Amino acid sequence: MGLPLPAWRSVTSIAVALFAILLSVSPRYGYHRDELYFRFLSDHLDWGYVDQPPLTPLLVRASRAVFGDSPLAFRLLPALAAAVLVVLVALIARELGGGGPAQVLSAFGVATGAYTLILGHTVLTASLDLPFWAAGILCVLRALLREEPRWWAAAGLVLGLATYNKLLIAMLVLGLAAGLVLAGPRRTLAGPWLWAGVAIALAIAAPNLIYQATHDWPQVTMAGALGEDKGGEMRVLFVPMQLILFGPVVSVIGAFGWWRLWRDRRVRALAVAYPAIAVLTLVSGGRFDYTAGLILLLFAAGCVSAEQAGVDRARQARASLVFNGLGSALLALPLIPVGVLAATPVPAINEVARESIGWPEFDAAVLGVLRSLPPDEQARAVIVTGNYGEHGSLVRAGLPRVYSGHNQLWEYGPPPESGTVAVLVNTGRRDYFDTCEARAEVDNGVGIDNEEQGMTVWLCRGLRQPWSDLWPHFRHFS
């Protein structure tokens, strides 16, 4: 039996509508701290960075060059990635035997899922990561279900390219390997096309691996730092976030999808891949969203089950996803006026919304301290921040001599030795100076309790040692 016809018109209509909605709200709230970091890195392109591969900064550089330096122009990239993701998940549903209703249901559920909306609104490495996962999974399904092993080569191509965005794609490889070993079909492991795909992936990823090897494996250091910094919190949040990442309705449908994959021996390996990746994430203290790509696979499979269960069941799923989407939109998109946002649960739940507010006020507080200095001190003063968001915001505002020891930014220091007067923000290194005094307090003006709210801006004088000696102590990963 051949595959159902693709529901191109309906699926692409959903994707285009999502793209338009995301762009319409893109100027609201402000830049997220990660976006400010990528903006800075886009002016310092390299083969890699201590905390990420080069693709996202490279694409940000291209976007800025073509479309300009505004939130709307900046966010064309994630909006387009979200639209592509919608189409890919619908194709996954089709590959699993889903007809038009299942394809449309999966497209709508993904388009209105909370995590999709967050990633589609904001430039994050995960914004591109999910389409890569979906494309890789689609190739794997075609290799297994169509019995066309050449699709393993296509999967290798996708996975190799994905390493330039985020090395997390290795989790998919490990999960799939565990599934093939434990659940089969094991004959796949003896076939030449699978290993051709592995060779293609390694060949494409080679520059990334060379960068890691020649820079003392910074991603290993970074992963360890993340596990130490947030590992306990991530383990506590893992199970509840699996249920609400795309919304509870998506998770319920995904549970039926897991059972569908498990019953089909041809793709049982992908059913095993989800718990395998979940265990790896819990053991390593990784982020709860590391399983997001497989959740979408399970959801697509569940949509096929809903379609095949009959018209009434498909209608119930569709109605439930509408309510799921309404809640997701309020939570994930900047729809609530910023002046009343603090009175809602959104800032506590949506880190992206919370950390996108207050940057102009932060910049003004630091600039006010800098301008209060006598001209000779202004000319040589340096600014040192605790994280890349603060650094990126001040650089975008045009402040001079801004430094940070956070992640990749440490590489662009130390400050000049003439900078014996320093404005310190969110860094506890005041004991390196003879005197430090509190000069300002950051207030975003809308009561949003984010990382910078209530922060003290310090003015410090009398550097006790050369910056070149002190700078190693400023380095930190998170």
Report yes or no on 353 lying in a domain: no
**Residue at token pair 């209530």:** 454
| Same domain, residue pair 411 and 375 | yes
Averaged pLDDT of the chain: 94
Residues 446 and 308 grouped into a single domain: no
Quick one: 129 and 228 in the same domain?
yes
Q: For residue 245, tell me if it sits in a domain.
A: yes
Is residue 427 located within the same domain as residue 296?
A: no
335 and 363 inside one domain: no
Under a CB-based contact definition with an 8 Å cutoff, are residues 266 and 144 in contact?
yes
Residue-range definition of the domain harbouring residue 424? 359-474
Q: Domain check: are 49 and 104 in the same one?
A: yes
pTM beyond 0.75, yes or no? yes
pLDDT (tens digit per residue) in 49-90: 999 999 999 999 999 999 999 889 989 999 999 999 999 999
pLDDT, position 1 = 57
Please tell me whether residues 57 and 130 are part of one structural domain: yes
Q: Assign 344 a pLDDT band (cuts: 50, 70, 90).
A: very high
Which of 292, 308, 339 is the last residue in one of the domains? 339
478 confidence band (pLDDT: 50, 70, 90): confident
Is 306's pLDDT higher than 90?
A: yes
Q: Does 413 lie in the same domain as 276?
A: no
Question: Does position 254 have pLDDT exceeding 70, yes or no?
Answer: yes
Report whether pLDDT(421) > 90: yes
Residues 265 and 404 in one domain: no
Give the domain-ending residue among 292, 307, 339: 339
Residues 220 and 274 in one domain: yes
In total, how many domains does the chain have?
A: 2
Q: What is the DSSP string of 146-191?
A: S--TTHHHHHHHHHHHHTTT-TTHHHHHHHHHHHHHHHS-THHHHS
Residues 405 and 411: their CA atoms lie apart, in Å, by: 8
Residue 285: pLDDT band with limits 50, 70, 90: confident
Torsion of CA 276, 277, 283, 286, to 10 degrees: -170
Q: What is the radius of gyration, based on Cα positions, of the chain?
A: 24
**345 is a domain residue:** no
93, 103 Cβ separation under 8 angstroms: yes
Which band of pLDDT confidence, cut at 50, 70 and 90, is reported for residue 149?
A: very high
**Residue pLDDT, tens place only, 197-235:** 999 999 999 998 899 889 888 887 887 777 777 778 889
Which residue among 308, 339, 370 closes a domain? Answer: 339
